[in-house]
């Protein structure tokens, strides 16, 4: 599954032949889908194989279900499969379908990216904030910009949930076509490592690519950090890429910037980073550069100075933490790469507010009777460490303690569990371990694995029920304290034994604060 992807608009002979076959056998109004739950009568079902030797999914066992639902045609992975259904429905066997699906779907929808400036944002942390903020900045500058990512697909404030950071190849092209028809002229897209390795973005033209950072995550799928990084790096060699925006404070970013020109396919590079207030010189850039200096916490967020090859400005933002300063620099670089003027970009940056479930504050105006609660999506060791480090000065300014309520997902990357336990013990004053999408695993086993990383297991209180854990922390925290509820952010469900049940950290924080007389 790691063969070279079919790159934007390079519709090969196989893809062209498949497209011609579809136009002969299927009504023009038919939709393409890889999910039988989305399939309507007359639609085309794509049964491809995705993944690698560690984790893979095969759509071909669902062909019978698609036929029963009235599929107008089936396009399926040819390798290792003999069609057993006779002539009940038109069907086409395609080798390496996962690589061809994107270009086929792009052609079916009239190559929607031709009318869109697409910015791909990749990295372990920060993709969602950066994509949402970039869309708002471009909108403010007069370019209708939609987003595709973890929060859903659509324009800011009107997102439709998809369940994936990067949708599958045929759904992605349908989404791009729909966004273009709705008036979008730019798209800020989160591009996951899974999406890159599984060719979900094949057939998409990226004009700008952004690297936020690379830290440990998804090793259950990629196997090693080297493979994880290789998946991310492929975005920066994308055919037709115009500008790469690279975080020079990140180890992967430094490797990209230090490598030969082949490592970054774009002719234009903007590097960004944070230098301490005493830095005398800027590291020699490769191309354009942006720098934040004099970063400092304020009673209402963060202030810092921006300078670089484009200009200089003072910045005040309600966002908390150095990692958000880095994210804002990434957004600024991407906005400039998309043609936004410096003054307009700075003005739009100053107007940004936190993204839902990303360092989102609750109870800030609640008076002296309740703690400050923060909901954040941090679900990796590095993200948790950065979030807690960002909140420590806030707690100190309030003369309070810092609480951390978190868990780890089941059936996902068990290596990070003890690492996150160690981070919480080191960075927080009070730690509560709880469930976070345990899926098929026993929640207690996950909590024990997290606690294994703590030098003093007794430092952590274990409350398996997440609602009870949030309520306990908010009720027992002093008014001066800060309570971080980490891991789920915007999510509205909790997955337990195959069932997704309604659950929102944001709503449970509000309910907990209400017990202390605070409306948040």
Cβ density class 346-355: b for 16+ within 10 Å, e for less: bebbeebebb
For residue 309, say whether it is annotated as part of any ligand binding site.
Answer: no
For residue 124, say whether it is annotated as part of any ligand binding site.
Answer: yes
Q: How many CA atoms lie within 13 A of 444 on its CB side?
A: 0
pLDDT tens-digit readout, 117-133: 999 999 988 999 999 99
For residue 338, say whether it is annotated as part of any ligand binding site.
Answer: no
Give Dmax (Cα) for the chain.
74
**Residue 282, pLDDT above cutoff 70:** no
For residue 126, say whether it is annotated as part of any ligand binding site.
Answer: yes
* Residues contacting residue 229 through CB under 8 Å, at least 6 positions apart: 214, 252
Give residue 222's pLDDT band: very low, low, confident or very high (50, 70, 90): very low
Hey, what are 407's tokens?
Answer: 């868990």
Going along the chain from its start, the domains and CATH numbers come out as 13-108 (3.40.1390.10), 112-350 (3.40.1190.10), 360-514 (3.90.190.20)
For residue 300, say whether it is annotated as part of any ligand binding site.
Answer: no
Tally of residues, the chain: 520
For residue 52, say whether it is annotated as part of any ligand binding site.
Answer: no
How far apart CA 127 and CA 255 sit, in angstroms, is 20
Q: What angle do CA 179, 201, 30 make, to 5 degrees?
A: 55
**Residue 235, pLDDT above cutoff 60:** yes
Asked which of 40-54, 136-150, 196-210 is least confident by mean pLDDT, the reply is: 40-54
For residue 23, say whether it is annotated as part of any ligand binding site.
Answer: no
For residue 234, say whether it is annotated as part of any ligand binding site.
Answer: no
Q: Map residue 425 onto helix, strand or coil.
A: helix
Give mean pLDDT, residues 482-487: 97
Q: What is the pLDDT, as a whole number, of residue 439?
A: 96
For residue 132, say whether it is annotated as part of any ligand binding site.
Answer: no
For residue 294, say whether it is annotated as part of any ligand binding site.
Answer: no
Out of 42-46, 230-234, 237-241, give the one with best mean pLDDT. 42-46
**Residue 320, pLDDT above cutoff 50:** yes
Q: What is the pLDDT, as a whole number, of residue 54?
A: 56
Asked which of 44-58, 67-81, 152-166, 496-510 is least confident by mean pLDDT, the reply is: 44-58
Give mean pLDDT, residues 338-355: 97
Q: What is the pLDDT, as a whole number, of residue 260?
A: 63
Give residue 277's pLDDT band: very low, low, confident or very high (50, 70, 90): very low
**Residue 285, pLDDT above cutoff 60:** no
Give residue 364's pLDDT band: very low, low, confident or very high (50, 70, 90): confident
Q: What is the pLDDT, as a whole number, of residue 508?
A: 98
pLDDT tens-digit readout, 49-96: 986 555 678 999 999 999 999 999 999 999 999 999 999 999 999 988
For residue 175, say whether it is annotated as part of any ligand binding site.
Answer: no
For residue 123, say whether it is annotated as part of any ligand binding site.
Answer: yes
**Residue 307, pLDDT above cutoff 50:** yes
How far apart CA 219 and CA 413 sit, in angstroms, is 6
Q: What is the pLDDT, as a whole number, of residue 206?
A: 96
Give residue 2's pLDDT band: very low, low, confident or very high (50, 70, 90): very low
Q: What is the pLDDT, as a whole number, of residue 9?
A: 46
For residue 298, say whether it is annotated as part of any ligand binding site.
Answer: no
**Residue 451, pLDDT above cutoff 90:** yes
Helices (H), 206-266: 219-222, 225-233, 251-258
Q: What is the mean pLDDT of the chain?
A: 90
Q: Are 195 and 127 in contact (CB under 8 A)?
A: no
pLDDT tens-digit readout, 167-215: 899 999 999 999 999 999 999 999 988 888 888 899 999 999 999 998 7
How far apart CA 331 and CA 149 sit, in angstroms, is 15
For residue 367, say whether it is annotated as part of any ligand binding site.
Answer: no
Q: What is the pLDDT, as a whole number, of residue 166?
A: 81
For residue 421, say whether it is annotated as part of any ligand binding site.
Answer: no
For residue 418, say whether it is annotated as part of any ligand binding site.
Answer: no
For residue 438, say whether it is annotated as part of any ligand binding site.
Answer: yes
For residue 488, say whether it is annotated as part of any ligand binding site.
Answer: no
């Amino acid at each position: 599954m790691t063969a070279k992807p079919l790159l934007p608009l390079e519709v090969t002979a196989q893809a062209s032949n498949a497209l011609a076959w579809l136009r002969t056998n299927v009504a023009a109004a038919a939709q393409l889908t890889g999910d039988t739950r989305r399939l309507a009568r007359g639609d085309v079902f794509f049964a491809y194989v995705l993944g690698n030797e560690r984790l893979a999914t095969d759509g071909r066992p669902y062909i019978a279900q698609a036929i029963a639902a009235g599929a107008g045609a089936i396009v399926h992975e040819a390798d290792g499969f003999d069609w057993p259904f006779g002539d009940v429905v038109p069907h086409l066997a395609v080798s390496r379908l996962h690589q061809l699906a994107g270009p086929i779907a792009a052609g079916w929808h009239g190559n929607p990216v031709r009318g869109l400036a697409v910015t791909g944002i990749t990295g372990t942390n920060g993709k969602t904030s950066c994509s949402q903020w970039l869309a708002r900045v471009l909108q403010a500058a007069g370019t209708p910009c939609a987003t595709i990512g973890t929060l859903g697909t659509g324009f800011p404030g009107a997102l439709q949930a998809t369940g994936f950071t990067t949708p599958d190849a045929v759904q992605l092209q349908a989404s791009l076509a729909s966004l273009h028809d709705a008036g979008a002229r730019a798209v800020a897209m989160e591009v996951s490592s899974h999406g890159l390795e599984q060719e979900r973005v094949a057939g998409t033209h990226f004009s700008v690519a952004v690297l936020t950072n690379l830290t440990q995550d998804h090793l259950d799928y990629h196997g090693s950090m080297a493979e994880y990084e290789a998946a991310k790096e492929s975005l920066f060699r994308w055919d037709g890429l115009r500008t790469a925006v690279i975080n020079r404070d990140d180890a992967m970013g430094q490797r990209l910037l230090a490598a030969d020109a082949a490592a970054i396919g774009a002719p234009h590079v903007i590097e960004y980073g944070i230098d301490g207030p005493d830095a005398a010189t800027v590291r020699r850039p490769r191309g354009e550069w942006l720098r934040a200096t004099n970063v400092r916490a304020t009673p209402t967020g963060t202030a810092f100075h921006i300078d670089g090859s484009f200009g200089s400005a003072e910045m005040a933002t309600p966002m908390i933490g150095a990692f958000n300063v880095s994210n804002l620099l990434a957004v600024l670089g991407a906005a400039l790469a998309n043609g936004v003027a410096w003054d307009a970009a700075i003005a739009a940056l100053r107007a940004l507010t936190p993204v839902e479930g990303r360092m989102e504050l609750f109870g800030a105006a609640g008076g002296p009777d309740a703690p400050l609660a923060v909901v954040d999506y941090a679900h990796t060791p590095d993200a948790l460490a950065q979030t807690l480090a960002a909140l420590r000065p806030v707690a100190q300014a309030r003369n309070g303690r810092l609480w951390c309520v978190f868990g780890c997902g089941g059936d996902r990357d068990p290596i990070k569990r003890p690492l996150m336990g160690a981070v919480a013990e080191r960075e927080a004053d009070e730690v509560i371990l709880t469930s976070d999408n345990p899926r098929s695993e026993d929640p207690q086993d996950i909590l024990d694995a997290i606690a294994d990383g703590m030098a003093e297991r007794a430092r952590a209180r274990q409350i398996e029920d997440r609602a009870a854990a949030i309520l306990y922390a908010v009720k027992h925290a002093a008014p001066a304290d800060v309570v971080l509820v980490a891991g789920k952010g915007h999510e509205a469900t909790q997955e337990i034994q195959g069932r997704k049940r309604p659950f929102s950290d944001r709503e449970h924080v509000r309910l907990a604060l209400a017990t202390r007389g605070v409306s948040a």
